[in-house]
Structure 1
Amino acid sequence: MGSTQRNVTAALTAALLWAFAFPAPAAVKPASELLLVTGRYSLFGLCGLYVLCRGRRQLRLMPMRRILFGLYIGFVGYFVFYICVSYSATMGSGFITAVIVGSSPITIAVAGNFAEKRMSWSELVAPVLLILSGLTLLSAVDFIHEGPSDRAHDSLLGILLAIMAMLTWSYFVVRNAQSQRTWETKPDPKIWAALVAMGAGGASMVLLPFAIATTPEETFSPYPLFKIIAWCVFLGVIGSWWGTYIWVKAAQGIPVPLVGPLLATETIFGAIMSLPAERRTPTWTEVGGALFILAGIAVYMAFDVKNSRSRGDGAGAEQKPDASDVPAAT
């Protein structure tokens, strides 16, 4: 029991570290979103490069197609994903972005059900309808309070980017899980995590000079510069790399029914932390939309836990594919 409590605490710690990604774009202003993304993942990629250098013997044993695939899903699942999150959070709201991205378990379930049916399609109807109701309500927030305006249109574009982030992350999780199951021999988790990190880091290193060149000059004043560097170090090294390590270690001892809810806390933490960064409180419309989405996730998890028990899945079978099969973090 004590071991389980320690693992749950560790998993919550990892979720909290990952959640800082949502308030970060507002917190680093006037730095650009691109500078935050490229700075964060350049450091994340350097962590991956260090691991690959130490494990070069294992890396040489991997087929080139697997190495390229690892780099590819790292680019899509991390770099492209966080580009969408960052611009969504600043054009709309980090709170709304976190809530929408938090609905990804439903899109993952729908996509995964086509490849490997885990539950009846009828069981997904209620969660999907609740999620869609929540997204509709969140999309109408600024139109309800302000009417058609540039701010409202920016917010709507921010929501579309958040949906893109949700779909991108879902694609990453499903493709990664499918590939791991089809390979006869799984790659070493540390080496695979490092490849994924390099996929995100490689693109970031290429674009970092452009991000610096297009960043507003006031960013390079002492305090804004310190702020963006501190956030990049925290997100890239502490959040992405160490948060992943903490999760992977903890996930090995977490009972199946707890894994989904623990992962869901990441976006809950992110939504809560985004509000102080934006210096506001949520509107009732936002609260209503968030509750619809949380209800949809809860209904889905209830069905998933029931199906897991009926199949007699072993502990850890329902771990997030990028955290059990492959160390990863948002």
Structure 2
Amino acid sequence: MSDSGQQGDRPEYKVYRSRRGLGGGGGASGLEALRERVRPDKDPDHGPAPGRRRGGLTPGRVFKWIALAVMAWLLFSFLVFIVSAQTQTGVSDNAKEALSGGGNSLMTGSNILVLGSDSRAGASIDKSQAGPGRADSILVLHAAFGSVRKLSIPRDSLAQIPGHDAQKINAAYALGGTALMVDTVESFLGNDIRVNHVVEVDFQDFPDLIDALGGVTVENKTRICAPEFDNFYKGFNLGKGEQKLDGRKALGFARVRKNPCAPGENDLDRAARQQQVVSGMRGSLLSPVSFVRLPAISWRAPKAIKSDMHGPGLLGLFTDLVTGNSDETNVLKPSCLGCGPGGSLVVSDEEKRASVKRLEGR
């Protein structure tokens, strides 16, 4: 084989120039630069480098996790409220038909009639009172844009009940239920007001809601001693001054009428006590302790009421009552105490018109 043939069989190689080392130096310096790049920031002699700490709990992270936990707890409580509200029975079809159209959104303004009654058979408000089934408390709310105004109608106010004679307004509930009560309240307050929604509070379940709140604190202005009060409570007694009440005592405080220890009290004093209970509930709900109880409260609240509104509507109303701008309750002032038929209270038309204007912010 010739020399030229042997040279032709040899493979050809390309010669590449080596790159400059990392960091601009030669091989050794390039290797050192690479080590510097991958070297951890943590120096065993000097601790972690500033600003590069990983895995620790910083104040920002703690605040973030607390905020997420609070939001999750609130969301869970809201869902519990809606589920509980959806499982409750609503008001009768007759009551729904009696309600006026419009005002379906609490954002645009709605008038809500709140009635307090006792569903227990044979239960009476006072043994001296005529018959069960009368509305024990009558309250009109005007809810709009996160604010709630309240008007309390004394249950002994003289009213012309549609289809019946003029008598105490609370008798409408016994004569025709919620539907007649809606018509009577609209007629009593005048043609300027319409009731859009109704909420019935059942006093049988009311104590459980108060207990879920951890009780309420009230300021009792006069000693209460009512041995003949309500066959469910077997009498009611309460000392003067600041009192922390559980559910049963709070209900007794709100409902008692005849107080031998203060014979001069009337239905207006009773309405003022009811307002104290409502304010006490709001205060208890806003306390830090109640935040832990919030799911239990959310479950109990809808069980104490019946309404034409469903879960979201009721949730909006409760939220406005608790967190919104809520004025003090305005109580209708009678021009004559006990001078109407059956000892009823007479309220002038001027007082009614002025109260409705304040209620609706006109």
The TM-score range, normalised by the shorter chain, is under 0.3
TM-score normalised over the length of structure 1: 0.25
Greater share of residues in helix: 1
Question: Higher relative contact order at CA 8 Å, sep ≥6: structure 1 or structure 2?
Answer: 1
TM-score normalised over the length of structure 2: 0.23
Greater share of residues in strand: 2
